[in-house]
Structure 1
Amino acid sequence: MSAPDPDTAGCPVGRGARLPYGGSDFARGARPAPLYGPAVADDPHGLYARLRERHGQVAPIELEPGVEAWLVLGYGELLELTRNEALFSKDSRHWRVPAEGRLAPDSRLLPMTAWRPTLLNLDGAEHQRLRAAVSDTLAQIDHHQLREATEAAANGLIDGWGPDGTADLIAQYARTLPLLVFTQLLGLPARTGPRLVGLISHFVDSGPESVRASAEFQTILVDLVRRCRTAPTADLTSWLLAHPAALTDEEAVHHLVVLMVAGNETSINWIGNTLRLLLTDRRFRTTLTGGRLTVSDALEEVLWRDPPTQNFPGRWATADTVLGGQYISAGDMLVLGLAAANADPAVHGGASAAQGSLGGNRAHLAWGAGEHVCPAQHPARIIVETAVETLLHRLPDLQLAVPGNDLTWRPSPWSRALTALPVLYSAFTPPRPPAPERSPWTPSSTATRPPAPPSRSGSTPSDATSTARTPDSGPQGPRSWWSSLAGWWSGR
């Protein structure tokens, strides 16, 4: 990027004239920073710091060649953005780029920005109607049974690993485990799991296959809704269809997309990033095994430093305005810079979020703010925390099989996700007979322990790495619960 004119830098709509995205910076030959490619994958924190230094708390970016937007980097600015839906709408039909014919029909951005009749894309009373349907549906999940189902799926995956003491915790664990649970939650047959993994990855990465994957993914869910409408069972899909909000089949399908993509993909990344922290950060691993910090603290650390969704589209300005000192035009798109806002020096007394421990501090914006905070907070926490704790109980001597600096990230502008996490371990447990199949959302007479009561503080101590869990070792000790996750889907 060339140096901006000191008189007009950071004034994208110009002074006294309506200019395209980027305003006077573009008019004088500068290009916005691309929010795609190697920079956003290899060193996103460096990218956000450079953008903040040059443009302030709101910076012009490019989402793909010829498609510009604003990246909100500031903590306070992101709060302002998410709390004012009258001025910054969730309805992408306000976006002037496609209205001006500047978004290609096969744009990789379409799956993440196209308008759908969901709580993500609506404001006001209609948003509240749909949000109530999703919230009430999720509230029917039995958390104890969800934890049991997640633990059973985790143990099954670990038991399936070979006897050589090697595994890839992304491909063989994090990427598979949440989907095993979500397919049961929604009432999908287990055999669709592997197919859905690939489709969702293409969908959220805005890659070459994203449009095709989006259509195929939706076809699977259309068939599911039709089946549950005709023959309802004890699953999220049937409960959603039965809600008094009276969702149409189309509305139900789109909300299942939201649940699967936001819930599943975020869980995958949260698990992977937490395991990476425990395996690469000597300070954190030492204090964890020493008993001073818990798995819950590790989850919080990740939400501050490497949240599973680092950027989220978006908001659309309904009128000309100013945000963070930048002139925003009606129809402009604003991207929520969740990771950047968490690292805002203004929030940390001038220091970076990377300095010192943030355990116990839940003021991060990893899950957004405002009226569109997602209602799936409790199930999300249970799945991720159970996945991490079960793995550490079973294989307490996990260690990286490669240097930490050799780990690579997926090239997604939205997700913060590792491509692989290869590990070595010695405490291999022989496979066990499979447990009898049953719905995890209905009462069971085979439960071996009562539900663990929620912790008011959300930080019940647990030495997650003290012993390896074997088929004969009995139930695990109590785990910490987190009852105040600010929301699942970023800034909704």
Structure 2
Amino acid sequence: MSHPPHAHPSSRTEASRTEAPRAGASRTGGARRAVPPTLYGPELDGDALPAFYEELRRSHGPVAPVTIAPGIAAWLVLGHRELLRLTRDEQDFSHDPRRWTPLREGRVPPESPIMPTVGWRPALLYADGQLHRRLRSAVSAALARVDGHQLRRDVRATAEALIASFASRGEADLVAHYARRLPSRVIIQLLGLDECTGQQLVHAITGVVAANADSVNASKRMNAVLLALIAEKRRTPGDDLTSALLHHPVGLSADEVLHNLVVMFTLGNGTTVDWIATTLRVLLCDPAFRSSLTGGHLTVDDALDLVLWRHPPTQNVPARYATRDLTLGGRRINAGDMLLLGIAAANQDPEALPTTGSPVTGNRAHLAFGAGPHTCPAQDPARLIARTAVDTVLHRLPDLELSVPESSLTWIKSPWTKSLAALPVRFRPR
């Protein structure tokens, strides 16, 4: 990953005197860069991300220029205080990408790998004000219909079946064989999809989130699966999220149902996969923390919160768009600029963290689920799925250990998420 030149650490007062970079240029220690630091590409590495964010903070302050795809510039908001303003102030920061200047001016190619992620959809993630409240009311009501007790039983049964499928071998990849399969199977059931069609949806959405050359085609495959599901549930409603959205009193159109399902599945599945996998990695690589857990001093929820503070599955969230010329974190932001929510960096903002002790145990003031009117409406079922998944594997495989050095673990390259590519483990065969 390209890093900005080293500079002396600067306070926010110093950062506020730094001029905002114009398209494709930033100012660091008096020298000009032709291109802002990149947040994409083959050099993007999960292990390097924390240091990368801190270097951005030292060099640029709480709001840093980045490129998220070839020729696509944005601002990455690293400061906790600045990110709260970004999430809470819909007057100055819109969710509607049609305000994005390069897109309005036709400077973003339709085949750009980020378009399936940042392109406008009639979904709550891309709406402000009254429209957002209307869409959110339908999504929240659909999620409220999920029976938590039944969901826990379904997750545990799915987890037990997955563990049984590899327990006799004495080894497994907890990403491919467990974390990646469990949430998708559960969410597929919640949507009302059969297993085969659901896996087609999983593969398509994986391609969309990857933000690569195939993302546009993956988006078309995803839409095709969901449109067929919507047509079926309109004819034959069931006790599922899709039917609940279709028949909510606000009267969502088929297009609105489609794109809200995309948002629910994309965010719900991918982040829960990463949350489970990273929590298991932390427990495998931190013997003291795992001992505290097994000894009853800490809970699985404590482990889950540690991950949300230090290794949030969604590192950077696209996007907000400035509605007017303004200043944020000492940067001059132009109307129509894109701003990314730097969740991982904001969680580690020195101005927001306690000076002593750990912010983790018993503290859920992290920004992993967002803040303001767009706080994630599915965080409770997501936590239930993750907690049950981690608890089940620890109870069924108590002698679990990494089968490779921690330093050899690799990451999937993405500007948005921090996803383990694999988590190979060994244990006594069952």
Partner of 1:398: 400
Q: How does 1:244-263 map to 2 (within 5 A)?
A: 244-263=249-268
> If the length of structure 1 is used for normalisation, what is the TM-score?
0.82
2:23 aligns with one of 20, 24, 27: 20
State whether residues 409 and 423 of structure 2, in contact with CA within 8 Å, keep that contact through their aligned partners in structure 1: yes
Is 1:329 aligned to residue 308 of structure 2? no
Equivalent pairs counted in the alignment come to 420
1:41 and 2:43 correspond: no
Residue range with higher mean Cα deviation, 83-92 or 369-378: 369-378
Match of 1:127, SS?
helix
Distance in 2 (alpha carbons) for counterparts of 1:327 and 1:108: 27
Matched letter for residue 83 of structure 1: R
Asked if 2 retains the 8 angstrom alpha-carbon contact of 1:9 and 1:24, the reply is no
Q: What does residue 461 of structure 1 align with? A: none
Tell me, yes or no, if the aligned pair for 2:24 and 2:35 is still in contact at 8 Å: no
**Does residue 1:197 correspond to 2:205, yes or no?**
no
2:167/2:429 contact within 8 Å kept: no
Aligned residue for 1:32? 36
Question: 1:23 and 1:357, CA in 2 relative to 1: closer, same or farther beyond 3 A?
Answer: closer
SS in 2 for 1:286: helix
What is the SS of the residue equivalent to 1:34? Answer: coil
Give the direction of change, closer, same or farther, for the CA distance of 1:322–1:22 in structure 2 (3 Å limit). farther
- Once the two structures are TM-superposed, the CA of residue 349 in structure 1 deviates from its matched residue by 4.0
Change (3 A) 1:126 1:235: same
| 1:384 aligned residue (386, 389, 407) | 386
1:233 to partner: Cα distance = 1.0
Which of 156, 162, 171 is residue 166 of structure 1 equivalent to? 171
Q: Deviations over 1:353-384 (max 9, x none)?
A: xx746111111001110111121122111111
**Given the alignment, which residue of 290, 299, 303 partners 2:304?**
299
Q: Residue 256 and residue 54 in structure 1: after superposition, are their counterparts in 2 closer, same or farther (change >3 A)? A: same
2-structure distance, mates of 1:267, 1:281: 21
Letter in 1 for 2:372: G
State the 1:193 CA deviation: 3.4
Look up the match of 1:460: none
Residues 248-397 of structure 1 correspond to what in structure 2 (within 5 A)? 248-349=253-354, 356=358, 358-397=360-399
Please say if residues 15 and 60 of structure 2, whose CA atoms lie closer than 8 Å, have aligned partners that are also in contact: no
Deviations 1:105-129 (A, max 9, x none): 2100001100000111110101100
- Report if the CA contact (8 A) 1:170-1:418 is conserved: yes
SS across alignment from 2:85: helix
What is the RMSD of the two structures over their aligned residues, measured on CA atoms? 2.1
- The aligned runs of 1:76-475 (5 Å cut-off) are 76-161=81-166, 163-349=168-354, 356=358, 358-426=360-428, 428=430
SS of the residue corresponding to residue 368 of structure 2 reads: coil
Aligned partner of 2:10 in structure 1 is: none
Question: In 1, distance between residues paired with 2:423 and 2:18?
Answer: 39
Say which of 15, 19, 30 aligns to 1:11: 19
Q: Residue 213 of structure 2 aligns to a residue in which SS?
A: coil
CA 1:303 to 1:119, structure 2 compared with 1: closer, same or farther past 3 Å?
Answer: same
Segment of structure 1 superposing worse, 131-140 or 158-167: 158-167
Alpha-carbon offset, residue 198 of structure 1: 2.1
Distance between the aligned counterparts of 1:168 and 1:144, measured in 2? 29
Note the alpha carbon deviations across 1:392-421, whole angstroms, 9 max, x for none: 111111100111111111111101110000
Moved more, 103-112 or 356-365: 356-365
Does structure 1 conserve the Cα–Cα contact (< 8 Å) formed by 2:24 and 2:73? yes
3-state secondary structure, aligned to 2:419: coil
Distance in 2 separating the partners of 1:140 and 1:408: 38
Residue 469 of structure 1 corresponds to none
Of 216-225 and 190-199, more deviation after overlay is shown by 190-199
Q: Deviations over 1:138-195 (max 9, x none)?
A: 1011000000011111111111116220000000000001111011100001112332
CA contact (8 A) 1:39 1:47 kept: no
C-alpha contact (below 8 Å) 2:210/2:414 kept by paired residues: yes
The CA distance in 1 between the partners of 2:79 and 2:359, in whole Å, is: 21
Q: 1:270 to 1:2 in 2, by over 3 A?
A: closer
Q: Which amino acid aligns with 1:11?
A: E
Q: Distance in 2 between matches of 1:310 and 1:7?
A: 23
Q: Alignment identity in percent?
A: 50
The 5 Å alignment of 1:68-79 reads 68-79=73-84
Contact 2:6 2:59 in 1 (8 A): no
Q: Which amino acid aligns with 1:249?
A: A
SS at 1:366 equivalent: coil
Q: Name the CA shift for 1:83/1:7 in 2 (closer, same or farther; >3 Å).
A: closer
Cα distance in 2 between the residues matched to 1:204 and 1:58: 24
More helix by share: 2
Query: Quick check: 2:15–2:329 contact (8 Å CA) kept in 1?
Result: no
Give the conservation status (yes or no) of the 8 Å contact 1:175–1:197.
no
The alpha-carbon deviation at position 422 of structure 1 amounts to: 0.4
Task: Give per-residue Cα distances to partners, 1:63-103, cap 9 Å, x unaligned.
Answer: 11211000000000000111101100000101011223321
Cα distance in 2 for partners of 1:67, 1:118 equals: 23
CA distance in 2, matches of 1:350, 1:58: 22
SS at match of 1:120: helix
In structure 2, give the amino acid aligned to 1:20. A
Deviates more, 1:182-191 or 1:197-206: 197-206
Q: Residue 43 of structure 1: SS of its match in structure 2?
A: helix
Q: Higher mean Cα deviation, 39-48 or 220-229? A: 39-48
* Rounded Cα–Cα distance in structure 1 between residues aligned with 2:426 and 2:337: 48
Provide the secondary structure at the position in 2 that maps to 1:33: coil
Structure with greater Cα Rg: 1
Q: Which amino acid aligns with 1:424?
A: R
For 2:18 and 2:207, the matched residues in 1 are separated by: 34
From the superposition, tell whether residues 413 and 40 of structure 1 become closer, same or farther in structure 2 (CA, over 3 Å). farther
